[in-house]
């Protein structure tokens, strides 16, 4: 006689996630955005920003001087591409590309220093080279490729000095796993996966590492006479959109941002399908949904890019979140008009149709 088999269809409570979803209640989160006016919202920002910094972790990494080292400089005709190496903390170095517009005519904006500046955050793929006009093997390319579309180059040609860091776990910052005790058949994790698990074990997150790195990029930009950090923006796609979201929320030096291929809801995107573990922060549910955390960006100008056929950040969730962002968050600051959207026909990719002009307008106050 065979045993009686129980199925999740007949007994949904057999699935651990079934019960856990019952605990997912962003409307009851202790740090959710529920301000009724600007004064209350600004008080909420002070408390919540400090709590979120603690949640993502790695706020006490051993410090070190930036020690910027110029690795190479390439004349691209209408701009210079410099590659620098920064020490972000005592245990980490980070490559950083700077794309610098040519200042050939001192009387003609937008090519006069000190430049407005945008930090450009790449997403998953082969790393920062994919947004600064380089193939994965380091060879030059003249035609944008892939979902990033060389948006760092596009921003530079719009007039910005562009700072494009190699995000932790990608490109030249991948783990080589030489220190892992692995045997044949065990398999090797992805570099994001391994770093995320190690970060969780240490009480932090990859989000915390990346936000720390972004702050150090801004620290470095503040030392350069050709940069006007009072006109600082950020833009990123996919994992770079996540990077832009959290970095802007936690660093008030960023004055405007473009989030592409990310902003929607945790429930309908990050938690609804397979996503890289670098997206996760233990205990983030205490802060509600994306539409709560975005209150840490308000009332700064925000543009959301979203493709109508993006399979991993569904459009319906994007549109619902946009409405809540305008009507229930930015409205408390009297800043509904500061939220814009570029909903384009396409999949998971950079659009740029509005983004470059949006950042130029918001950071230079020049009408477009």
Walk along the chain (368 residues) and give the pLDDT tens digit of each residue: 788 888 878 888 888 888 888 999 999 999 999 999 999 999 999 999 999 999 999 999 999 999 999 999 999 999 999 999 999 999 999 999 999 999 654 444 456 899 999 999 999 999 999 999 999 999 999 999 999 999 999 999 999 999 999 999 999 998 876 666 555 446 667 788 999 999 999 999 999 999 999 999 999 999 999 999 999 999 999 999 999 999 999 999 999 999 999 999 999 999 999 898 899 999 999 999 999 999 999 999 999 999 999 999 999 999 999 999 999 999 999 999 999 999 999 999 999 999 999 999 999 985 44
Per-residue confidence (pLDDT) for residue 104, from 0 to 100: 54
pLDDT attached to residue 368: 41
pTM: 0.94
- Give the β-pairing of 161-165 and 92-101: antiparallel
pLDDT reported for residue 211: 98
Query: In which residue are the tokens 């946009």 written?
Result: 322
DSSP state of 60: S
Give me the pLDDT at residue 17, please: 85
Give the whole-angstrom CA distance, residue 147 versus residue 241. Answer: 13
Q: What is the pLDDT of residues 243-279, one digit of tens each?
A: 999 999 999 999 999 999 999 999 999 999 989 889 9
The per-residue pLDDT for 110 is: 53
| The pLDDT value given to residue 191 | 85
Residue found under tokens 């892939």: 146
- Cα 125 to Cα 133: distance, rounded to the nearest angstrom: 14
Q: Which pLDDT score is estimated for 2? A: 83
CA diameter of the chain:
90
Q: Show the tokens assigned to 181.
A: 């005790």
Quick one: pLDDT at residue 16?
85
Q: Are 130 and 136 in contact (CB under 8 A)?
A: yes
pLDDT for 178: 64
For the domain made up of 38-364, the CATH class stated in words is alpha beta
Q: Could you state, in order of their start, the residue ranges of all structural domains in the chain?
A: 38-364
Neighbours of 171 (CB within 10 A): 18
State the sign of the Cα–Cα–Cα–Cα dihedral 44, 49, 51, 56: positive
CA distance 121 to 248: 12
Neighbour-count burial of 194, counting CB atoms closer than 10 A to its CB (0-12 exposed, 13-18 middle, 19+ buried): middle
DSSP 234-259: EEEETHHHHHHHHHHHH-TT--EEEE
Which pairing describes strands 115-121 and 92-101: parallel, antiparallel, or unpaired? unpaired
């Amino acid at each position: 006689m065979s045993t009686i088999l129980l199925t999740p269809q007949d007994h949904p409570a057999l699935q651990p996630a079934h019960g856990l979803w019952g605990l997912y209640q962003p409307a009851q989160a202790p740090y959710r955005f529920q301000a009724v006016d600007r004064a209350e919202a600004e008080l909420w920002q002070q408390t919540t920003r400090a709590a979120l910094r603690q949640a993502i972790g790695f706020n006490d990494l051993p410090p070190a001087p930036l020690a910027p080292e110029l690795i190479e400089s390439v004349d691209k005709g209408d701009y210079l591409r410099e590659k620098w190496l920064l020490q972000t903390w005592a245990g980490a170095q980070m490559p950083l590309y700077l794309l610098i517009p040519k200042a050939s005519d001192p009387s003609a904006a937008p090519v006069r220093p000190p430049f407005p500046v945008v930090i450009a955050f790449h997403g998953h793929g082969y790393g920062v080279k994919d947004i600064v006009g380089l193939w994965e093997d380091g060879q030059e390319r003249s035609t944008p490729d892939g979902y990033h579309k060389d948006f760092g180059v596009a921003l530079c040609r719009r007039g910005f000095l562009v700072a494009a860091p190699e995000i932790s776990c990608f490109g030249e910052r991948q783990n080589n796993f030489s220190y892992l005790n692995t045997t044949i058949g065990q398999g090797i994790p992805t570099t994001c996966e391994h770093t995320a698990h190690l970060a969780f074990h240490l009480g932090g997150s990859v989000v915390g590492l990346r936000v720390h790195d972004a702050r150090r990029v801004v620290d470095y930009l503040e030392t350069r006479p050709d940069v006007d950090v009072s006109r600082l923006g950020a833009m990123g796609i996919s994992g770079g959109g996540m990077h832009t979201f959290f970095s802007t929320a936690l660093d008030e030096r960023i004055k405007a941002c473009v989030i592409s291929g990310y902003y929607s809801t945790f429930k309908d995107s990050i938690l609804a399908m397979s996503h890289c573990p670098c997206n996760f922060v233990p205990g983030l549910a205490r802060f509600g949904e994306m539409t709560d955390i975005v209150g840490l960006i308000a009332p700064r100008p925000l543009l959301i890019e979203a493709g109508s056929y993006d399979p991993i950040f569904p459009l319906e969730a994007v549109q619902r979140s946009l409405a809540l962002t305008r009507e229930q968050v930015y409205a408390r600051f009297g800043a509904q008009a500061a939220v814009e959207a570029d909903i384009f026909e396409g999949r998971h990719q950079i659009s740029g149709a509005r983004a470059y002009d949006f950042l130029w307008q918001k950071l230079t106050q020049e009408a477009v």
